[in-house]
């Protein structure tokens, strides 16, 4: 017999994923592996992060957002490291019963973001799973040789900066679980929608990567809560930080939630899924960084200072906040 028939797995890849594999090194997803010529004078920045239905997203989320979220989580890390995206690998585990419409919408969202963020699909792996939908991405970026912005390099006296707004996604998740909260929090429809969308779809700050690379002493993306992630940055850098809670940037919607239920300030500062960049820079770099951020169209806010010592202190009207659970953790 002549073995020239494509398997169902090959057909799935051909129909839904091959259109995303526009990079020549993806070899049309027809090879075992992809090939990438590193940009001259650059280091590669490597990151893997993934999403699992029921853990990081809801199985009935719009399928076009699910692949986007998985890719954007990784793009956010590349941005925080000052890296320019080069491409990604996709490991997809699908339960039986995923239909063509789901796959088609999933791939369309992912493909749209691959173009938007200049991060093409290079290769992948598809499997059936008895478990929930699981999407694992490994993303690659480039930084000039020796220049990746690390966590461990914050300096005493640095300004602590954060992009965008904090806490929206964790409030969005609570709303997604219990839509009656919108009433209790006295949110307008637009506010509720804003919070839910911030949970559904991160807005990675890749436009800011150049400014981070040029000005930051240290940076990381905020994915497990501002308080916990700043704690990690402080530990890695062997410094302390004092944050003025009054300066932490909140959206109007998050402000409304906190006004309705002041104890939720803790949720805003410790909840996950912000996908903003937390960075430190010397005060003399502040003006240059602000100019770069303005040019990139990304809001940045100075929220505190790096100090000698250890730990991240959050001070609200002169009073330190105590958190029951500083950071989101899977374990």
**Near a second copy in 69-98, by CB under 8 A:** 77-78, 80-81, 83, 89-91, 93
Q: Give the contacts of 296 (CB within 8 A, at least 6 positions apart).
A: 207, 208, 210, 211
- Site string (151-180) toward a second copy, x via CB under 8 A: xx----------------------------
Q: Is 3 in the site for a second copy (CB under 8 A)?
A: yes
Q: How would you class 271 by CB atoms within 10 Å of its CB: exposed for 0-12, middle for 13-18, buried for 19 or more?
A: buried
Binding part of the chain for a second copy, among 128-136, 191-199, 284-292, 297-305 by CB under 8 A, reads 128-136
- Considering the complex, state which of residue 192 and residue 279 has its C-beta at the smaller distance from a second copy: 279
State which of positions 103-122 bind a second copy (CB under 8 A).
122
- Considering the complex, state which of residue 80 and residue 298 has its C-beta at the smaller distance from a second copy: 80
Q: Give the contacts of 90 (CB within 8 A, at least 6 positions apart).
A: 17, 110, 121, 123, 124, 125, 135, 136, 137
Query: What's phi and psi for 325, nearest 5 deg?
Result: -145, 90
Radius of gyration of the chain (CA): 21
3-state secondary structure 75-100: HHHHHHCCCEEEEEEEEEEECCCCCH
Q: Is 245 in the site for a second copy (CB under 8 A)?
A: no
- Considering the complex, state which of residue 63 and residue 194 has its C-beta at the smaller distance from a second copy: 63
| Listed residue (220, 190, 224) closest to 205, CA to CA | 220
Question: Token match 């303005």: residue?
Answer: 294
Rounded to the nearest 10°, the torsion over CA 223, 224, 227, 233 is -70
Q: Is 246 in the site for a second copy (CB under 8 A)?
A: no
- Considering the complex, state which of residue 150 and residue 301 has its C-beta at the smaller distance from a second copy: 150
Q: List the one residue from 57, 140, 185, 250 that touches a second copy (CB under 8 A).
A: 140
- Considering the complex, state which of residue 133 and residue 200 has its C-beta at the smaller distance from a second copy: 133
Q: How many residues bind a second copy (CB under 8 A)?
A: 93
Q: Is 312 in the site for a second copy (CB under 8 A)?
A: yes
Q: Is 49 in the site for a second copy (CB under 8 A)?
A: yes
């Amino acid at each position: 017999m002549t073995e020239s028939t494509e398997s169902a797995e090959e057909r799935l890849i051909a129909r839904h994923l091959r259109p995303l594999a526009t990079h020549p090194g993806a070899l049309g997803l027809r090879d075992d592996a992809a090939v990438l010529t590193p940009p001259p004078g650059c280091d590669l920045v490597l990151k893997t992060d993934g999403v699992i239905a029921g853990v990081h997203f809801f199985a009935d989320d719009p399928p076009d957002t699910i692949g986007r979220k998985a890719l954007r989580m990784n793009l956010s890390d590349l941005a925080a490291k000052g890296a320019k995206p080069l491409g990604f690998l996709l490991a997809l585990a699908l339960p039986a019963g995923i239909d063509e419409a789901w796959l088609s919408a999933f791939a369309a969202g992912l493909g749209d973001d691959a173009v938007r963020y200049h991060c093409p699909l290079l290769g992948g792996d598809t499997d059936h799973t008895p478990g929930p939908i699981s999407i694992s991405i490994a993303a690659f970026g480039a930084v000039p040789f020796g220049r990746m912005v690390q966590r461990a390099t914050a300096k005493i006296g640095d300004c602590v900066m954060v992009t965008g707004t904090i806490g929206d996604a964790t409030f969005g998740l609570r709303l997604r679980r219990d839509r009656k909260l919108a009433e209790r929090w006295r949110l307008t429809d637009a506010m509720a929608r804003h919070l839910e969308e911030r949970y559904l779809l991160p807005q990675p700050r890749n436009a800011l990567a150049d400014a981070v690379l040029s000005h930051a002493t240290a940076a990381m993306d905020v994915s497990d809560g501002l308080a916990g992630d700043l704690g990690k940055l402080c530990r890695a850098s062997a410094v302390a930080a004092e944050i003025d809670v009054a300066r932490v940037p909140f959206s109007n919607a998050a402000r409304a939630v906190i006004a309705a239920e002041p104890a939720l300030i803790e949720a805003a500062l410790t909840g996950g899924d912000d996908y903003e960049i937390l960075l430190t820079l010397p005060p003399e770099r502040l003006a240059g960084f602000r100019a770069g951020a303005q040019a990139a169209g990304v809001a940045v806010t100075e929220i505190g200072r790096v100090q000698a010592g250890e730990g991240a202190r959050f001070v609200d009207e002169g009073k330190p906040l105590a958190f029951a659970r500083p950071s989101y953790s899977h374990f």
